[in-house]
């Protein structure tokens, strides 16, 4: 019934398949190579929600930057829907820990950024309003970023990504800087957006509970250089609650894998 | 203990009476100062003969009467808020002029040709306004041409240096070597290299304004949050978009700092250039007045120059407030 199928009910197969093929990467710091990723191999099914869980600074954010095409990997390759990643593309969008909104643009114009950059602002302007509605910020469309709370700013950043109808959404600890109550609300929000839009979601987090509440698959990474140490399937139905017995059991298991005493 | 009647203290500050007609007492005090100024100017004997003593006294009396009316009409604290806020300043101004009048024209405590009384400066404004007005126009034209050219070139160069490694490689050393040189140092060279003194001065003013604008624009572009570029690149932005919609807006707060600094340098160079080479403008007028020992004209030109510079700075602040409306905590000028 929806004439212009925006974010809800997109065409079948809206989520992309992501292949991470034997990817290694290192940073050069004062001439010395600092390895951050060590032979990561991963296959993410279209439309699934996968979490990369690991200690802080283990290199998981770097993996997202590689998938986004912001940097080329040193070794191995990244394949999205069969096509190797060669650079940034609006179908693969990254949501950062900082909302990184442009302070000189209103909320509406921040959300419109991607459409404007691709010259679609005129023809697809309605999608901006739709995205604002989706994240519940229609009333704040004309506000400037410094007037927003942390949660509102991060919702704006989500809308800025979703308005482009990405097939792969890369979430780099997007809730990391929010207070705990906002965080819970935003977790539910993320699940709802993902279920409505059916993009493939790849979330990086160091919060075990968050990974388990959100993702269908949790990939556990080691300390730097990051290596995949375990993979946990998490088939529990949505909406999930932090105190579901299954999640509590999984949480204990994952904490054990991370070497944090099983309590 | 806590029974001190605080409201009475507060009321004394605003000087509003609750019974009868409300009166703006500060305004009345200011009116008194101006009326005393008028009376003293008109009645006390003078050391010299000043043709504009009576017009000056009349003007002061007019200001006093206007203030009396305002004190009575704007008695309620909610009326004429802007005028009320300036009340203490108006009173101080009246008293200051009175003191000036007394130590110069009336008591002769300050030697006359160097310290003219206010009526002598009023005389300059009334009698010499064609020359003074012409000088203002000449100065403004020279300043506008040089400053705008310098700002545009500086901004463009700053963006280019901040954006492109190749441009930075070639421009940076030149900027470091030549930029800190005061523009006035080029003056002798400029006056024989350029076909006319006005084109030479325009160049010097532009040079003075252009250097800070270039450096600040450059630092604004170079200092923009890297993540802004990452966001735009993943969203499919072209290089053109990155420059026009990311780098430049992000740099604008710095650009305005450069524009303010450039305007200050431009004023300095303008005056020097007009004193040494150009035969027009306020700098030239100052030089001319000094040559004739016309000190009243000197003060008049200084007052006009202060008004002009302050007005231009205000204009730039207005522009900044409009362009950078998204920033919080801007300094109010």
What confidence tens digit (pLDDT) does each residue in B190-246 have?
A: 888 888 888 888 999 999 999 999 999 999 999 888 889 988 988 888 899 999 999
Q: What is the largest CA-CA distance in chain A?
A: 59
Three-class SS of residue A193? Answer: helix
Residue B248's pLDDT is 93
Confidence of residue B259 (pLDDT cuts 50, 70, 90): very high
Output helix, strand, coil percentages for chain B, rounded to the nearest 5: 75, 0, 25
Spell out the residues 6+ positions from residue A76 whose beta carbon is closer than 8 angstroms to its own.
Answer: A20, A21, A22, A23, A24, A39, A40
Q: Using the beta-carbon criterion (under 8 Å), do A90 and B328 form an inter-chain contact?
A: no
Average pLDDT value for residue range B123-127: 86
Average pLDDT value for residue range B270-299: 87
More confident residue, A261 or B133: B133
Average pLDDT value for residue range B87-99: 92
Confidence of residue B83 (pLDDT cuts 50, 70, 90): confident
Residue B148's pLDDT is 95
Residue A40's pLDDT is 84
Distance CA B307, CA B145 (A): 19
Interface of B with A in 189-228 (CB under 8 A): 225, 227-228
- Based on the number of CB atoms within 10 Å of its own CB, is A46 exposed (0-12), middle (13-18) or buried (19 or more)? middle
Residue B309's pLDDT is 92
Nearest Cα neighbor of B225 from B244, B246, B241, B239 is: B246
A193, A4 in Cβ contact below 8 A? no
Ramachandran class of A39: left when φ > 0, alpha when ψ lies in -120 to 50, beta otherwise: left
Residue A10's pLDDT is 41
Average pLDDT value for residue range B88-108: 89
Of B234, B241, B249, the CB nearest to A88: B234
Residue A198's pLDDT is 86
Q: How far is B241 from chain A (nearest CA, A)?
A: 6
A172, A164 in Cβ contact below 8 A? no
Distance CA B155, CA A47 (A): 47
Q: Give me the helices (H) in chain A, please.
A: 60-68, 107-111, 113-117, 125-134, 150-162, 180-197, 208-214, 245-257
For chain A, which residues lie within 8 Å of any Cβ of chain B, measuring from their own Cβ? 68-70, 88-90, 92-94, 96, 98, 100, 102-106, 113-114, 116-118, 144, 146, 160, 164
Q: Using the beta-carbon criterion (under 8 Å), do A90 and B232 form an inter-chain contact?
A: no
Confidence of residue B19 (pLDDT cuts 50, 70, 90): low
Nearest Cα neighbor of B26 from B37, B35, B16, B18 is: B16
Distance CA B164, CA B149 (A): 22
Confidence of residue B13 (pLDDT cuts 50, 70, 90): very low
Closest residue in A to B329 (Cα) is A146
Q: Using the beta-carbon criterion (under 8 Å), do A70 and B230 form an inter-chain contact?
A: yes
Confidence of residue B14 (pLDDT cuts 50, 70, 90): very low
Q: Using the beta-carbon criterion (under 8 Å), do B328 and A146 form an inter-chain contact?
A: yes
Nearest Cα neighbor of B87 from B38, B28, B10, B37 is: B28
How far, rounded to the nearest angstrom, does the alpha carbon of residue B166 sit from its chain's CA centroid? 39
Both tokens of residue B163? 């954006």
Write out the H or E segment, with its range, that includes residue A33. Answer: strand A32-44
Interface of B with A in 240-269 (CB under 8 A): 241, 245-246, 249-250, 252
Of A68, A104, A118, the CB nearest to B326: A104
Residue A252's pLDDT is 86
The stretches in chain A having pLDDT less than 50 are 1-12, 262-263
Q: Using the beta-carbon criterion (under 8 Å), do A117 and B250 form an inter-chain contact?
A: no
Of A69, A92, A100, the CB nearest to B228: A100
Average confidence score pLDDT of chain B: 86
| Beta-carbon count within 10 A of B118 CB | 24
């Amino acid at each position: 019934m929806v004439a212009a199928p925006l974010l809800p009910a997109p065409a079948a197969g809206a989520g992309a398949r992501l292949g991470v093929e034997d990817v290694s990467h290192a940073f050069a710091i004062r001439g010395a190579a600092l390895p951050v990723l060590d032979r990561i191999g991963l296959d993410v099914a279209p439309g699934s929600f996968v979490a990369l869980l690991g200690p802080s600074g283990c290199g998981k954010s770097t993996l997202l930057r590689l998938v986004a095409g912001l940097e080329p990997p040193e070794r191995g390759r990244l394949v999205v829907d069969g096509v190797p990643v060669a650079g940034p593309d609006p179908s693969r969008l990254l949501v950062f820990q900082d909302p990184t909104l442009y302070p000189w643009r209103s909320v509406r114009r921040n959300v419109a950024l991607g459409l404007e950059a691709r010259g679609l602002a005129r023809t697809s302007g309605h999608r901006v309003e739709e995205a604002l509605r989706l994240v519940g910020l229609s009333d704040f469309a004309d506000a400037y970023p410094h007037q927003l709370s942390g949660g509102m700013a991060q919702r704006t950043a989500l809308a800025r990504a979703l308005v482009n109808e990405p097939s792969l959404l890369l979430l780099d600890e997007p809730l990391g800087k929010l207070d705990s109550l906002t965080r819970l609300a935003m977790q539910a929000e993320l699940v709802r957006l993902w279920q409505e839009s059916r993009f493939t979601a790849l979330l990086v987090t160091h919060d075990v509970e968050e990974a388990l509440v959100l993702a269908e698959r949790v990939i556990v990474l080691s300390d730097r250089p990051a290596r995949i140490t375990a993979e946990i399937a998490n088939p529990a139905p949505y909406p999930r609650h932090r105190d579901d017995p299954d999640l509590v059991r999984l949480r204990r298991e994952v904490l054990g894998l991370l070497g944090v005493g099983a309590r | 203990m806590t029974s001190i009647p605080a409201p009475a203290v507060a009321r004394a500050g605003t000087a509003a009476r609750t019974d009868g007609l409300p009166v703006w007492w500060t305004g009345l005090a200011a009116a008194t100062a101006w009326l005393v100024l008028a009376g003293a100017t008109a009645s006390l004997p003078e050391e010299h003969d000043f043709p504009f003593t009576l017009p000056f006294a009349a003007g002061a009396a007019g200001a006093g009467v206007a203030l009396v009316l305002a004190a009575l009409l704007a008695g309620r604290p909610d009326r004429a808020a802007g005028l009320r806020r300036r009340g203490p300043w108006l009173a101080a101004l009246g008293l200051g002029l009175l003191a000036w009048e007394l130590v110069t024209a009336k008591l002769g405590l300050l030697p006359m040709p160097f310290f003219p009384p206010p009526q002598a400066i009023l005389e300059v404004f009334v009698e010499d306004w064609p020359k003074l007005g012409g000088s203002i126009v000449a100065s403004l034209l020279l300043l506008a041409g040089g400053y705008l050219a310098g700002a545009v070139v500086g901004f463009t160069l700053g963006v280019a240096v901040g954006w492109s490694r190749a441009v930075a490689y070639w421009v940076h050393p030149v900027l470091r070597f030549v930029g800190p040189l005061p523009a006035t140092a080029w003056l002798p060279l400029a006056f024989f290299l350029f076909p006319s003194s006005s084109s030479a001065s325009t160049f010097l003013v532009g040079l003075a304004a252009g250097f800070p604008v270039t450096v600040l624009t450059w630092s604004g572009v170079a200092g923009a949050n890297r993540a802004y570029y990452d966001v735009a690149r993943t969203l499919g932005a072209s290089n053109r978009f990155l420059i026009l919609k990311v780098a430049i807006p992000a740099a604008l707060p710095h650009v305005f700092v450069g524009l303010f600094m450039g305007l200050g340098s431009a004023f300095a160079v303008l005056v020097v250039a007009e004193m040494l080479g150009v035969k027009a403008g306020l700098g030239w007028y100052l030089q001319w007045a000094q040559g004739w020992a016309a000190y009243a004209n000197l003060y008049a030109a200084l007052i006009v120059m202060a008004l002009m510079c302050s007005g231009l700075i205000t204009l730039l602040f207005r522009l900044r407030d409009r362009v950078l409306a998204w920033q919080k905590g801007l300094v109010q000028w």
